[in-house]
Structures are given as C-alpha cells and as structure tokens.
Amino acid sequence: MTNDLLGREWRREDGAHLKVERCLIDANWGTSTDVVYQFCRQSAHAAILTPSHGRFVGASSIPFSEYRRKRGDRVGLNWRIPSVHGRRAIRHVLFDSNYWKSFIHARLAVAMGDRGCLSLFGRDPEAHRLLAEHLTSEYRVKTEGRGRVVDEWKLRPEASENHWLDCLVGCAVAASMQGVVLPGTDAKAAVKRERVRLSELQRSKR
C-alpha cells in the first residue's frame, strides 16, 4: 500500500502534480508497535514514514505547550518529535489526540467555501457513509481542570470503529509537521515589555 500511495503523483484541481511528503503510521497498538517501527525504518519510503502516537491529554494532564523542551526535540502545534535513543532509535511523533479531534470537527463545521473548511468530494452521501460513521463514532465532553477547559473525546457505546477518524487526525498532524498552518492557530502570546526611560538606558551603559 505504501508503495502505491507514496510512489505516485496526485493531480490537484489546478493541474499541479504533488506527492505525499509525510505519512504517519499509528504505532499505539502495543502488539504491533515494534513491527511499525521496523517497517518505517526499513521501508524504501523511510524518509517519508513516521511512527505516531496519539496521547489522551485531558484537562488534568500537562498540556503539550507546557512540556519542557529537550535538546534535539522538534515541537509544533500540540505535537512534538522527541530526540531518540535506545532500541527504537527512530524519529516518531507524539500528538494531543483530543486537540486534533476537536480541530477536525471544527473544520467540518465550517460552511462550504469559507476559510478553514474541510469538505468531501462529490454529492453522493453513500460514497462517504463509512467515513461519516467513523467521524461521528466519538463525542466530546467539555472538562475543566488545572485552570483550563478542554474537549475530552470518548467512543460512543453503540460505535465499534473509529479508524478513519484516527486517520484523518493523523493527516492533519502530518500537514502541520510539513508546515501547513491554518490562520489563527499560529498566534503567539504577546510578550509584555516594560517601558524604559532614555535616561535609565544611558545610565546603565556608563
């Protein structure tokens, strides 16, 4: 499958041809984690493949924004690629699954044609029924803790599969890793600077 998807070009509406630049493979399933790491390491597409681990970051958890960055880490919007060592010496990505599920559902709720909209092709609802079932297989619970309010996503009792939701979340994380930014999500808190008088500045230089 990776040879087929990663080895071909995809034509965009404007005629441009693109290739997949980043592909994440879910490595959270304990019994297959080592297999995923080995495959990503030995694949002909090793430069594109990245094992991924979604983390449930609830209201009482430490948010990704407060993690202490270590030497060699790469940090993005609620995802990070830690420096590697040990038997799984391959770069992998960790991401806040709650944040990115909320991100995807927010995009689906945007009106067609508006900025930030995530839409599906065609007009036949049957073509997307399975995807729709997976995207609605979880529900959010607004939870407050440690001075912040977050969405915590839980699987519906009647639902059994959410694989395509996880895949779409992974696509959003991969796009962010490649530098894709939705306007408004990259805003950084302004640093408040104290006003300094010219006389004080001149005095400090003496």
Tens of pLDDT, residue by residue over 67-116, are 988 888 999 999 999 988 766 678 999 999 999 999 999 999 999 989 99
Express each pLDDT in 31-45 by its tens digit: 899 999 999 999 999
Residue with tokens 């230089």: 205
Report the range of poorest mean pLDDT among 6-20, 74-88, 128-142, 177-191.
177-191
Q: How confident is the model at residue 186 (pLDDT cuts 50, 70, 90)?
A: low
Which amino acid is it at 103? F
pLDDT at 193: 53
127, 112, 94, 116: which is closest to 181 by C-alpha?
Answer: 116
pLDDT at 184: 79
pLDDT at 30: 81
Which amino acid is it at 142? K
Domain boundaries, the chain: 2-177
Query: CB-based contacts of 78: which residues, under 8 Å, 6+ apart?
Result: 57, 63, 64, 65, 95, 96, 99, 100
Token pair recorded at residue 165: 């939701």
